[in-house]
Copies of this chain bind each other. A is one copy, B any other.
Amino acid sequence: MSAPSPRFDILGIGNAIVDVVAAVEEGFITHHDLHKGAMSLIEADDADRLYAAMPPGLESSGGSVANSCAVAAQLGARVAYIGKVAADQLGDVFRHDIQAAGVHFPTSALVGGAPTARCLIAVTPDGQRTMNTFLGACTQLGVDAIDADLVANAAVTYLEGYLFDPPHAQQAFYRAAEIAHHAGRKVALSLSDAFCVHRHRAAFRDLVAGHVDILFANETEITALYETNSWAEAAAHAAADVNIAVLTRGPDGSTVLRGYERFDVLSLATDVVDTTGAGDAYAAGFLAAHTAGRSLFEAGALGSAAAVLAIAQYGARPAREKLRRLFTGV
């Protein structure tokens, strides 16, 4: 017996974050001892200190899976999102932007606790982004935020690896996966960041092997997960662990694996302005096409095209009119 038709194509669950993006010179990264290209967690005091040292910035809504949700909705998918902001100005900005993108966002705001999470993003002249995140209200996302009816009514529940960082989110994670599978739905996961994989490798391995249908990972993440230097070896592991492995390779394109099937998608050339959100946009394009019944190759192609739009601009969420043009092209 198959599950009834879902109300949503994608339900994202992730850290609800506002980005502060500023252009810096290479020297800024070394001077402040930052992990170039990675996401590091910082406490409130360090966030204040780093922000004080940063040049003037632009603020916009961020969060890995939240970015994917906003992009997927603007590509025409029916999308919902669960994530925790505070009842403050940046929380209002986050809520406005994801709702304005067309995403259903029912999670209540945290009152009287930590402020809305922010990610300080230093963009170097090579377009690489170095991220430092103060998790704030995201640490309060727990099982109670998981609306069982919502999960049961989404074709794919999409989780971000970053959710392993805040203490209560892992339970929310497993609960959502359990509800989704019980309802005959799929679970997708992004590994998010190689350092995040290092921090939580055992938990990731357990989750991937036992609870994930669609896995997204770039080269450093997938090799970190399987503790190998060989991408091919890691890819084979991933293909054995999950139903669909979607492996992005930066300028070398991406590879989608399903059992013994393999689809290679070329990367599209573009000027690199800011790589923030490239992986998020790829996942958005892939999931929007996949849940619309397109082939895995088409899904990879749309992911790749959406990623290019994200790379060619500042910020993680390309404008609606650019995305619309894309989708009709596939």
A259 within 8 Å of B (CB atoms): no
One digit per residue, 1 when the CB lies within 8 angstroms of any chain B CB and 0 when it does not, for chain A 289-330 equals 000000000000000000000000001010111000000000
One digit per residue, 1 when the CB lies within 8 angstroms of any chain B CB and 0 when it does not, for chain A 95-113 equals 0111011000000000000
Main secondary structure of the interface of A (DSSP, over half): mixed
A59 within 8 Å of B (CB atoms): yes
Give the Cβ gap from A122 to chain B, nearest Cβ, in Å.
13
A194 within 8 Å of B (CB atoms): no
* A55 near B89: Cβ-Cβ < 8 Å: no
* A57 near B97: Cβ-Cβ < 8 Å: yes
Indicate whether A59 sits within 8 Å of B93 (C-beta atoms), given known contacts A23-B319, A319-B23: yes
CB-defined contacts of A61 to chain B, threshold 8 Å: 56
One digit per residue, 1 when the CB lies within 8 angstroms of any chain B CB and 0 when it does not, for chain A 49-62 equals 00110111111110
Give the Cβ gap from A5 to chain B, nearest Cβ, in Å.
29
A63 within 8 Å of B (CB atoms): no
A89 to B51, CA, bound (A): 13
Q: How many copies does the complex hold?
A: 2
* B100 near A317: Cβ-Cβ < 8 Å: no
Give the Cβ gap from A31 to chain B, nearest Cβ, in Å.
15
Give the Cβ gap from A277 to chain B, nearest Cβ, in Å.
13
In this complex, which of A20, A54, A58, A116 has the most chain B Cβ atoms within 10 angstroms of its Cβ?
Answer: A58
Chain A interface size, as a band, is 20 to 34
Option from B55, B101, B115, B320 in Cβ contact (under 8 Å) with A320? B55
* B89 near A115: Cβ-Cβ < 8 Å: yes
A165 within 8 Å of B (CB atoms): no
A100 to B57, CA, bound (A): 9
Indicate whether A58 sits within 8 Å of B96 (C-beta atoms), given known contacts A89-B88, A90-B89: no
CB-defined contacts of A58 to chain B, threshold 8 Å: 58-60, 315
Give the nearest-CB partner of A319 in chain B: B23
Give the nearest-CB partner of A95 in chain B: B52
Give the Cβ gap from A56 to chain B, nearest Cβ, in Å.
4
Give the nearest-CB partner of A22 in chain B: B100
A177 within 8 Å of B (CB atoms): no
CB-defined contacts of A96 to chain B, threshold 8 Å: 51-52, 54, 56-57
A217 within 8 Å of B (CB atoms): no
* A100 near B56: Cβ-Cβ < 8 Å: yes
Give the nearest-CB partner of A86 in chain B: B89
A70 within 8 Å of B (CB atoms): yes
Given A54-B96, A56-B317, A58-B59, 6 more pairs with CB closer than 8 A: A55-B101, A55-B320, A56-B96, A58-B315, A59-B93, A88-B89
Point out residues on A near B: beta carbons under 8 Å.
Answer: 20, 23, 51-52, 54-61, 70, 88-90, 93, 96-98, 100-101, 115-116, 315, 317, 319-321
Shortest beta-carbon contacts, A-B, top 3: A59-B59, A56-B97, A89-B89
13 residue pairs from A and B, CB less than 8 Å apart = A23-B319, A23-B321, A51-B96, A52-B96, A54-B96, A56-B97, A56-B100, A56-B317, A57-B96, A59-B59, A59-B93, A88-B89, A89-B115
